[in-house]
Amino acid sequence: MCSYITEKTEINGSAKGAGGWSNVTAAHIYYDHPFHASLDHALSIDFMSGDTTRKVAVEMSAESARALVASILAALESGEQAHG
Amino acid sequence: MTYRGMIAELVTITGDKGDKIEAYYARPSGPGPFPGVVLIHHMPGWCDWTLEAVRKLAHHGFACISHHLYHRYGPGTPDDLAAKARTAGGVYDDEVVGDVKGAMAFLRAQKESNGKVGMIGFCSGGRHTFLASCRLDGVDAAVNCWGGNVVVDDPTQLTPQRPVAPIDLTANLKAPLLGLFGNDDKNPTPDHVNTLEAKLKECGKNYEFHRYDGAGHAFFAAERPAYRVEQANDGWQKVYAFYRKHLG
């Protein structure tokens, strides 16, 4: 289906794309038809600089996205423990 | 009859409010005359498959144009502009209709035109095709391929960009309509398709619907898992036959 549902969250960080490193200020996240991935639907994340400039874009399966979320949380938990 | 020779190029049309819009135009080689088709791309953007579909229709004898619905968000690549359009909540229905009117005018102004113009759209473009065919004069044949949100179950889904459920405009539809749908689709569901068909019947419209078992959304999309070869081949044949009947 085609939806226009986009989750947005502020980001404080950097991303490296074809043009090198740059600041990113937000992530736009949605689950819909991808542009490139060989999937019918994909979880897409656009790392943004400002409201309209997309620095890095990724498309992945729902299964991959859930695994990524779990890995991010696990890395945060172990890393924060290690660094106090 | 098919045409192995064709001319395909980027052109500029005059869209809504006089805006200049980039478009891809392919037609068979030779003087014609050829019927025209406006092809509306799906929500992920003005992708390579869209341009392949334009050439496919040219191969089968139609002068086909697909304009870039997200051109106003440019410059940029089609995928980046699709992301910008999404973030903005999608394109405005009024702009879509105005741009289609411009694309139709472009086709009719070409020396190879036979004066007839059809429309076809996929996914959100199917909705746009139904919408524009209800709002514009001069559409000679319309093809809605699994257009979602023609029927709107929840009125809170109406937005400034899409303020009206297209089904509510059915009484204004002047063009004969071909609809292709997969029975496993989630949007439109088989119930949505039945609701639209009931409305077309109620309004006395000229339409033909084909529902495919074993297919869901976007079953023409050869580069995706949704592709269903038998259903897609049959569907394309339905499209060609419909256009040959109504566009000459």
Contacts of B186 in chain A (CB under 8 A): 1
Q: What is the pLDDT at residue A77?
A: 96
The model's pTM? 0.92
Q: Is B143's pLDDT higher than 60?
A: yes
- Across A58-65, average pLDDT: 98
Helix (H), strand (E) at residue A13: strand A7-17
Q: What is the pLDDT at residue A2?
A: 65
Tokens, residue A39: 């999937």
Whole-angstrom distance, CA of residue B212 vs CA of residue B236? 13
- Across B76-105, average pLDDT: 95
What percentage of chain B has pLDDT greater than the value 70? 100
Kindly report, residue by residue over B152-162, the tens digit of the pLDDT. 999 998 999 99
Q: Do A54 and B80 touch (CB under 8 A)?
A: yes
Q: Do A32 and B224 touch (CB under 8 A)?
A: no
Q: What is the pLDDT at residue A17?
A: 87
Of B47, B87, B186, the CB nearest to A35: B47
Question: What residues contact A20, with CB distance under 8 A and at least 6 apart?
Answer: none
Contacts of B123 in chain A (CB under 8 A): 2, 33
Q: B12: pLDDT confidence band, cut at 50, 70 and 90?
A: very high
Alpha helices, H only, A5-61: none
Q: B180: closest CA among B204, B205, B208, B200?
A: B208
Q: Is B102's pLDDT higher than 90?
A: yes
Summary mean pLDDT of chain B? 97
Give the best residue of A4, A9, A47, A48 to mutate against chain B (max B CB count within 10 A).
A4
Q: Are B46 and B18 in contact (CB under 8 A)?
A: no
Q: Is A84's pLDDT higher than 90?
A: no
Chain A residues with CB-CB distance to B under 8 A?
1-2, 4, 6, 28, 30, 32-36, 38-40, 46, 51-52, 54, 57
- Across B101-130, average pLDDT: 98
Of A39, A40, A57, the CB nearest to B83: A57
- Across B148-152, average pLDDT: 95
Kindly report, residue by residue over A4-49, the tens digit of the pLDDT. 788 999 999 999 988 899 999 999 999 999 999 999 999 999 999 9
Give the residue from chain B lying closest to A27, CA to CA: B87
Determine the distance in angstroms separating the CA of B79 from the nearest CA of chain A, rounded to an integer. 6
Kindly report, residue by residue over B186-233, the tens digit of the pLDDT. 999 999 999 999 999 999 999 999 999 999 999 999 999 999 999 999
